[in-house]
């Protein structure tokens, strides 16, 4: 396994739409192992493939503090099929280090996906699990949590991000 570099905002790759995975072959299995290692090392509670430069519809997540490998979820071609409730909680992203903002999300989602063994699974999550699922599936569509903030908040933040980008020489 190998730790992969995480792309930082404003990388253009994290703004692209990822493509569905057609077959779960050996190379993809190794890539998923690398994603898992990268997520735990970050440390993060979730990671989407485009964050490490691969435009594939794959996410890994582990919302539990204890980090037992049995809690790890790998979802391939995940799709939200039902959602309800609304809740605002603070959220961050490995592509935008040091930034935390309150984001409104569904409180409960039902997600359909394939696991690593090509088995179709249906997963229901609420609270933190629901939040991570929505955040990571957004990544597969090139959407970042800052896109989900109010217009006023986003404008304020854009100015801050541009300034930080200039200071890092990113323009
Ligand atoms: Co993120």
> Which DSSP letter does residue 168 get?
T
Total Cβ atoms within 10 A of residue 40: 17
pTM of the predicted model as reported, rounded to 2 decimal places: 0.93
User: What's the whole-number mean pLDDT along residues 3-31?
Assistant: 96
Distance CA 113, CA 73 (A): 11
Catalytic residues: 136
Smallest Cα–Cα separation from 54: which of 139, 164, 152?
Answer: 139
Distance CA 51, CA 9 (A): 10
Q: Token digits for 24?
A: 């779960």
User: CA dihedral defined by 71, 72, 73, 74, rounded to 10 degrees?
Assistant: -160
Distance CA 156, CA 131 (A): 24
Distance CA 158, CA 47 (A): 23
pLDDT tens digits, one per residue of 7-19: 999 999 999 999 9
Which residues is 104 bridged to in the sheet? 88
Say how many Å lie between the CA of residue 117 and the centre of ligand 1.
25
> pLDDT at position 147, please?
95
Residue partners of 63: CB distance under 8 A and separation at least 6: 45, 46, 71, 128, 129, 132
Say how many Å lie between the CA of residue 152 and the centre of ligand 1.
21
Mean pLDDT of the chain: 93
User: What's the whole-number mean pLDDT along residues 23-40?
Assistant: 96
Say how many Å lie between the CA of residue 95 and the centre of ligand 1.
6
Of all residues in the chain, the percent with pLDDT exceeding 90 is 81
Say how many Å lie between the CA of residue 167 and the centre of ligand 1.
22
Say how many Å lie between the CA of residue 136 and the centre of ligand 1.
6
Ligand 1 (ion): residues with CB under 5 Å are 93
Q: Regarding predicted confidence, which is higher, 63 or 86?
A: 86
Checking if the pLDDT of 70 tops 80, the result is: no
Q: Token digits for 170?
A: 């990113």
């Amino acid at each position: 396994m190998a730790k992969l570099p995480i792309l930082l905002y404003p990388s253009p790759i994290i703004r692209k739409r990822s493509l569905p995975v057609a077959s779960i072959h050996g190379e993809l299995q190794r890539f998923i192992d690398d994603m898992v290692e990268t997520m735990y090392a970050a440390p993060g509670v979730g990671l989407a493939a485009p964050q490490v430069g691969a435009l594939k519809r794959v996410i890994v997540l582990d919302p539990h503090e204890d980090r037992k490998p049995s809690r790890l979820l790998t979802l391939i071609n995940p799709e939200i099929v039902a959602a309800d409730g609304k809740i605002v909680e603070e959220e961050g992203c490995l592509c935008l280090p040091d930034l935390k903002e309150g984001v409104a999300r569904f409180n409960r989602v039902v997600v359909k996906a394939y696991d690593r063994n090509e088995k179709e699974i249906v997963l229901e999550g609420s609270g933190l699990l629901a939040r991570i699922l929505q955040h990571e599936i957004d990544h597969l569509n090139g959407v970042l949590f800052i896109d989900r903030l109010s217009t006023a908040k986003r404008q304020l933040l854009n100015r801050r991000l541009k300034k930080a980008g200039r200071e890092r020489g990113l323009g």
